[in-house]
Amino acid sequence: MARDRRSGGRRGKSDRTGGSIDQLPWQQVHNTYPPYQLLNPDQLDQLHATSMRILSEAGIRVMGDNVLDIFERAGAIVDRDTKTIRIDESLVTEALKMVPAEFTLTARNPAKRITLGGTHMNFGLVAGPPNVHDRINGRRPGNYTDYCNFIKLAHHFNAVNLIGNQVMAPIEMPANNRHLDTYLANLAYSDLSFHCTAIGRGRALDGINMMAITRGQKPEEMRDDPGVITIISVNSPRLFDDAMGDGLIAMAEYGQPVTVTPFTLMGAMTPVTLPAALAQQNAEALFGVVLTQLVQPGTPVMYGSFTSNVDMRSGAPAFGTPENAKANIVGGQLARRYGIPYRTSNANASNAVDLQAAYETMMATWGAVLGGANIVYHAAGWLEGGLTASYEKFIMDVEIIQNMIEFLKPMKFDEDELGFDAINSVPTGGHFFGSDHTMARYETAFYRPMLSDWQNYENWEAAGAKDALERATEIWQQALRDYEEPVMDPAIREELDAYVAKRKEEIGAVEP
């Protein structure tokens, strides 16, 4: 057996970045095991029926007149006084016929095009926290330097397939134009697709335009090959605000995909019971899905699930709970029922990168795997209920994603793999270390971890007795040293810079 092969080797990234961290290659992951059936078909029917009652009897309140107009034209019952829209099942059924079962996202590197739908599974970078944390510098407000570092890490580690909506808020920058700087960092420091901020039409269009520039296209040329995506969060219970609605409409007009994710924390924004929370999530998600199809039939759209619970003693959100894992799974059962690509999340509520962060993350991630998620949002770096993006958490999460990728690789079955001859050739009580069957396969037989340390205790102690948290610090530091910026045509970079400058001037002191 070879020893000390940690650097480089088959899984190294030397082919791309000359990096020294052992990791899995870029790949499109497929989850081909039969989906876990936590609910039976009758129970799914009951959830569906309750959702339809929510949509047709209780209704959804929408703050934007443009959305009220769209639904009115489609035959929905629109109460202008209360801004409430009630739709019946036929409108949902018609919309679902037009939803693509899968779609792709392509940034500037077509080799890293990802597919959302079917058996495809993708993992997204943490998005949205106001704070950032690492073990050396502690917890601090988000800022642009750390923002760029996270984009570099997302580019460096193949486990991350997609950038979310602002890995953290660079709060030293003006709130009305910082989206331009974060889009620029996404496009310059990585070749991944990303989520536009869809608070209002302007931010969504900026994302579409800047991705188009980077791809050397006009925005309308991205219609058949989308480049960016966004998330529309529902203000649960049953409320769509106008900025989100505008963002959704802008994306749909340009054929760019939208994820509709109700913000359904049980006990706060939904009833405390899982069936009620899931029925409400389902109603709210389907309402957004219908809207996308009314704006532009065939718009790619994802079914988003973010159902977890709150701590009923304090009202604090909880994630990675047993209830959250169940919701992640059932969300997938519902999305598949409707033929909509499925988004869920990896979240946890720990205040530190500690045991709790690890086991809550695993609860959520297994829920996502068993739920057949097409994208696991916040898959790498989320901490503290989403209030902090953490460097060490990012590294642990990459290791966890890689574990899942290996878990999802189906076993090969043939005579050689079944290995009767190999078994028969080793004497009883002997060992297989040097057998031909082993020697032919040992380099690629097992997953080789990035963060886990399998040395025996004595060697581990002699090497400094570093626990996984300390090792995670070393890995992200090394990754930033190894990081190589993907080459961009200087003309495109100039055009991007010019776009940002022009838009900052246009926006001035108002909303974009």
Contact positions with its own copies (CB under 8 A) in 363-402: 363, 366, 370, 384-385, 387-388, 396, 399-400
Q: How far is the CB of 452 from its own copies (least distance, A)?
A: 5
Answer for which of 15, 81, 224, 431 binds its own copies (CB under 8 A) is 431
Q: Binder to its own copies among 77, 175, 423, 480 (CB under 8 A)? A: 423
Q: Does 218 bind its own copies (CB under 8 A)?
A: no
What is the nearest approach in angstroms of its own copies to the Cβ of residue 412?
8
Kind plus residue range of the DSSP H or E element containing 68: helix 65-73
344 touches 325 (CB < 8 A):
no
How many residues form the binding site for its own copies (CB under 8 A)? 128
| 43 contributes a contact to its own copies by CB under 8 A | yes
220 binds its own copies (CB under 8 A): no
Residue 260 contacts residue 232 (beta carbons within 8 Å): yes
Q: Which of residues 293-322 bind its own copies (CB under 8 A)?
A: 309, 311-318, 321-322
String marking each residue 58-87 x if it binds its own copies according to CB under 8 A? x-xx----------------------x---
- Classify 258 as helix, strand or coil: strand
Assign 61 to helix, strand or coil: strand
Among the residues of 316-450, which ranges form H helices?
322-338, 355-370, 391-407, 415-418, 420-425, 436-439
Angle (CA) 25 30 34, round 5°: 150
Residue 354 makes contact with its own copies by CB under 8 A = yes
> What six digits make up the tokens of 80?
């202008």
Question: In this complex, which beta carbon is closest to its own copies, that of residue 409 or of residue 502?
Answer: 409
For position 135 contacting its own copies by CB under 8 A, the verdict is no
- Nearest-approach distance from CB 42 to its own copies, in angstroms: 8
Please pick, from the candidates 212, 357, 398, 496, the single residue that binds its own copies as defined by CB under 8 A: 357
DSSP, residue by residue, 154-216: HHH-TT--EE-S-SS--TTS-TTTHHHHHHHHHHHH---EEEEP-SSHHHHHHHHHHHHHHHT
3-state helix, strand, coil in the chain (%, to 5): 45, 15, 40
Asked if 22 touches its own copies (CB under 8 A), the answer is no
Residue 322, helix vs strand vs coil: helix
3-state secondary structure 353-369: CCHHHHHHHHHHHHHHH
Stretch that binds its own copies, among 69-77, 112-120, 335-343, 446-454 (CB under 8 A): 446-454
Identified binder of its own copies from the candidate list 101, 175, 418, 480, rule CB under 8 A: 418
